[in-house]
Amino acid sequence: MKKLLEVKDLHISFHTFAGEVQAIRGVDFDLYEGETLAIVGESGSGKSVTTKSIMRLLPQGNSEIKSGEILFNGENLATASEKKMQKIRGKDISMIFQDPMTSLNPTMTIGKQIMEPLIKHRDLSKSEASKRAVKLLDLVGISKPETRLKQYPHQFSGGMRQRVVIAIALACAPKVLIADEPTTALDVTIQGQILDLMKDLQKKIETSIIFITHDLGVVANVADRVAVMYGGKIVEVGTVDEIFYNPQHPYTWGLISSMPSLDSQDEELFVIPGTPPDLLHPPKGDAFAPRNPYAMKIDKEEEPPMFKVSDTHYAATWLLHPDAPKVEPPLAVQERQAKFRASIKGDK
Amino acid sequence: MAEKLLEVKNLKQYFNIGKPKEVRAVDDISFDIYKGETLGLVGESGCGKSTTGRTLIRLYNATGGEVLYNGVNVHGKKSGKELKEFNQKMQMIFQDPYASLNPRMKISDIIAEGIDIHGLAKSPKERLEKVHKLLETVGLNKEHANRYPHEFSGGQRQRIGIARALAVEPEFIIADEPISALDVSIQAQVVNLLKKLQKERGLTYLFIAHDLSMVKYISDRIGVMYFGKLVELASADDLYRNPVHPYTQSLLSAIPLPDPEYERTRKRQAYHPDVHQYEDGEDVRMREISPGHFVNCSEKEFEQYKANYNHNK
Ligand SMILES: Nc1ncnc2c1ncn2[C@@H]1O[C@H](COP(=O)(O)OP(=O)(O)OP(=O)(O)O)[C@@H](O)[C@H]1O
Ligand SMILES: Nc1ncnc2c1ncn2[C@@H]1O[C@H](COP(=O)(O)OP(=O)(O)OP(=O)(O)O)[C@@H](O)[C@H]1O
Ligand SMILES: [Mg+2]
Ligand SMILES: [Mg+2]
């Protein structure tokens, strides 16, 4: 598969009164054509900052891309001019923000908001753009699109507004769609419709999607691959099956174990102890070490590199070092791994 | 668990009555809550879950019906003393941990507000001791007492909300989406805490949420709402194993599970209210399909549902 986007050793800081917040501390990942990459991780781990930097939408003034590259079509977006970025945003790369209420302009009709990028990036005339807008609303499942175009956001329900936001993001058939918690505010039935819609549209216009969410059920539904972030870094990346059935990083173990399964009842839910790292003063060794029941001496001294688990699966934990002692992951994870081994045997 | 703490009878809550935008947010619902249990309330956005909770705790006067708490009518006339007693027994934890704490108040004062109102501390020293004890109970510490809400993460704020609710030693807590805004591992912290407190203090909960896996995990029984009506009520296990109402089936079929294999083959089931084809004036109400399992249905559907239910069991 072809690489569409390459993020290499990205470092981003915020300059605040208290000092320099090192929010992103060396992030690497690739995005392939037509795939959905999910990014998961604790609140504050850097998911939004990473993706906003791809669009170069970080707050001006106190944010700084310190080093690293964001390669797209042979161009380094990390250093691209604002003029260049304006041509890319909404056309080649577009973004759906978390809150459907605030990402629409309440004073402008839905039609105008969909037509805007079409007129700007595709040089369509007003009547052409309007025809296309009708098609787009129809595509995202909104009935009577001609009438709907003339209405304002408050005349739409939450789920419908989110469909409109998706229609706008997809107006120019972007190569990359970044969706930051696009369904978190919605209830499960509408969430399901939106996920199906995104997958369906992805096939039709061959977009690659970066999908941020903390709902692991949603990840299992949409993702081809998953990147797990902790403390400003990606600590594990793999195919969706590798991450859910054969996770290697103790933080991923914690995440997976915290979810109740539909048949667990009385036992206490697993909780990751402690608090997230202070990114004003990032620790010397593995940032997860203080919360990691499996931490070894080396974790406190030296950051683990990415160890290879398979061609598609990497994790940054010293537990994967050949000299590390064998440890027992939490029970929930062991059960998943057993299933994984069985399925691999089955394949052969 | 047979003792009823709360009886809700034909409760109605309408907004903008008589106007064109009249909303029947809660439209004739009845259920009981037993002492020491957790009753979960689920349903799509806007179906009336929060309004139900808010009406129970008297934030609204009911449009119709009644709510009995230990046999006493919640919305009936009361003396100042009775009202105060009432407010102490029932507490609410709100949906939004960011908006529900006054940003200008210190944590100690937020938590002690109820202690002051109800005169539960005899001296400033006792007041402070209580605050420290409460912070500890919810997994925070003494040092946090002098800080302000913005210095806390979402999960910590939600625990401050819990400490505030516990401060007046209530018997019954309405938790309105207490975990929706939090990330997975913090959700687990808060849910463990609620369960532990229930065990230790015999608390009774009404737990409102849209995360159905968490609701299943925490609830003894679950009620499903659709457009202001209760459409199904059953024990948590029975509801998930044998959902009867087509809306409940649709809701359960949409829960995303952290299992890629399962997700690849999942089929979601849509719900269209026209499947019922009720005739004008048909008697549609809650009927008991099996002991403790109620479904909103017509007489005709009842026979059909019952046959299917017994067949599937
Ligand atoms: N404008 C800013 N000024 C200072 N620090 C910031 C700013 N924006 C983000 N940060 C910090 O950068 C880090 C990463 O934030 P980010 O918003 O990417 O988290 P996230 O993973 O998206 O979390 P969430 O799941 O809560 O959305 C956090 O520690 C945050 O406090
Ligand atoms: N104060 C009010 N005035 C008018 N309408 C209201 C008021 N409060 C709620 N409603 C309406 O009543 C209905 C039920 O709202 P409610 O907040 O109870 O829903 P909910 O089930 O809690 O939804 P969510 O899951 O989104 O929190 C909605 O249509 C809402 O718009
Ligand atoms: Mg974010
Ligand atoms: Mg609500």
3-state helix vs strand vs coil in chain B, percent to 5: 40, 25, 35
CA distance A152 to A148: 8
Q: How far apart are the CA of A193 and the nearest CA of chain B, in angstroms?
A: 9
**Relative to the alpha carbon of A20, which ligand is closest?**
1
- Determine if ligand 2 sits within 6 Å of the CB of residue B49: yes
Tell the residue nearest (CA) to atom 16 of ligand 1. Answer: A46
How much is the pLDDT for B33?
Answer: 97
Q: Chain A contact for B288, CB < 8 A? A: no
Beta-bridged to residue B25, according to DSSP, are none
Residue A259: list chain B partners with CB under 8 A.
Answer: 184, 188, 213, 258
Strand-pairing partners, residue A180, are A212
Where do the domains of chain B lie, and which CATH numbers do they carry? 4-105+172-312 (3.40.50.300)
Ligand with an atom nearest the CA of residue A62: 1
Closest by Cβ to A220, choosing from B192, B251, B256? B256
Q: How confident is the model at residue B20 (pLDDT cuts 50, 70, 90)?
A: confident
pLDDT of residue B234: 97
Pocket test for ligand 2, best of B12, B13, B15 (most atoms within 8 A of CB): B15
Average pLDDT, chain B: 90
Q: Which residue has the higher pLDDT, B286 or A214?
A: B286
How large is the ipTM?
0.85
- Do residue B217 and residue A188 have CB atoms under 8 angstroms apart? no
Ligand 1 pocket mutation, candidates A13, A14, A281, criterion most atoms within 8 A of CB = A14
Verify whether the Cβ–Cβ distance A256 to B258 is below 8 Å: yes
Map tokens 């034909």 to a residue.
B10
Q: Say whether pLDDT at A347 is over 70.
A: no
Least confident interval from A104-113, A196-205, A298-307, B282-291: A196-205
Q: A45-74: per-residue pLDDT in tens?
A: 999 899 999 999 998 889 999 999 999 988
Class of domain A3-223: alpha beta
Q: A18 CA distance to ligand 2 centroid (A)?
A: 41
B220 and chain A in contact, CB less than 8 A: no
Q: How far is A12 from chain B (nearest CA, A)?
A: 22
pLDDT band at B132 (very low <50, low <70, confident <90, very high): very high
Q: What is the dihedral of CA A313, A314, A318, A320, to 10 degrees?
A: 30
Exposure string of A307-343, with b = 16+ CB inside 10 Å and e = fewer, is bebeeebbbbbbbbeeeeeeeebbebbeebeeebeee
Nearest CA-CA distance, residue B191 and chain A, Å:
8
Quick count: other Cβ atoms within 10 Å of Cβ A273?
11
Contacts of B262 in chain A (CB under 8 A): 220
pLDDT in tens, B151-168: 877 778 888 988 999 999
- Whether residue B144 has pLDDT greater than 80: yes
Check if B151 contacts A (Cβ < 8 Å).
no
Q: What is the DSSP letter of B254?
A: T
> Which pLDDT score is estimated for B97?
66
B192 interfaces chain A, CB cutoff of 8 Å: yes
| CA distance linking residue B275 with residue A158, whole number of Å | 25
Protein residue with least CA distance to atom 3, ligand 2: B15
Lowest-confidence segment of A265-274, B19-28, B156-165 by average pLDDT: A265-274
The answer to whether the CB atoms of B44 and A187 lie below 8 A apart is: yes
Give residue A273's pLDDT: 84
DSSP class of B113: H
- Taking the C-alpha atoms of residue A259 and residue A335, their distance in angstroms, rounded to an integer, is 14
Q: Confirm or reject: Cβ of B256 under 6 Å from ligand 2.
A: no
How far, in Å, CA of A23 to CA of B5, rounded? 50
Interface touch B187/A258, C-beta < 8 Å: yes
List of chain A residues whose C-beta atoms are within 8 Å of the C-beta of residue B210: 187-188
Cα A59 to Cα A51: distance, rounded to the nearest angstrom? 13
Answer whether residue B265 shows pLDDT above 80: yes
Average pLDDT over residues B192-216: 90
pLDDT value of position A215: 87
Q: Which CATH number fits domain A229-347: 2.60.120.10, 3.30.70.890, 1.25.40.10, 3.40.50.300?
A: 3.40.50.300
* A188 interaction partners in chain B (CB closer than 8 Å): 44, 210, 212, 251, 254-256
- Return phi, psi of residue A328, to 5°: -95, 115
Instruction: Evaluate if residue A105 carries a pLDDT over 50.
Output: yes
Distance of CA A61 to the CA centre of its chain: 25
The number of angstroms, rounded, from the C-alpha of B287 to the middle of its chain's C-alpha atoms is 22
Which has the higher per-residue pLDDT, B20 or B195? B195
Residues with CB under 5 A from ligand 4 (ion): B 50
Work out the pLDDT band at A348, boundaries 50, 70, 90. Answer: very low
% pLDDT > 70, chain A = 96
Q: Whose CA is closest to B3, among B38, B32, B41?
A: B32
pLDDT at B64 (0 to 100) = 95
Find chain B residues with C-beta within 8 A of A265's C-beta: 217
**Contacts of B311 by beta carbon, 8 Å cutoff, 6+ apart:** none
Across the range B264-277, mean pLDDT stands at 90
Indicate whether A138 pLDDT > 50: yes
The helix (run of H) or strand (run of E) holding residue B304 is helix B299-312
Q: What is the pLDDT averaged over residues A323-330? A: 91
Surrounding residues of ion ligand 3, Cβ less than 5 A: A 48
Partner-chain contact B257 A262, CB within 8 Å: yes
Confirm or reject: Cβ of B181 under 6 Å from ligand 2.
no
Helix or strand run (H / E) with residue B88: helix B80-89
Contact B45 A264 (CB under 8 A): no
B273 in A contact zone (CB under 8 Å): no
Q: Is the pLDDT of residue B179 over 80?
A: no
Domains A3-223 and A229-347 share a fold: yes
Name every residue whose Cβ is closer than 8 Å to that of residue A298 and which is 6 or more positions away in sequence: A285, A318
pLDDT mean across residues, chain A: 90
Residue spans per domain, chain A: 3-223, 229-347
Interface probe with B: pick from A155, A199, A269, A288, most Cβ of B within 10 Å: A269
Distance A146 CA to ligand 1 centre (A): 40
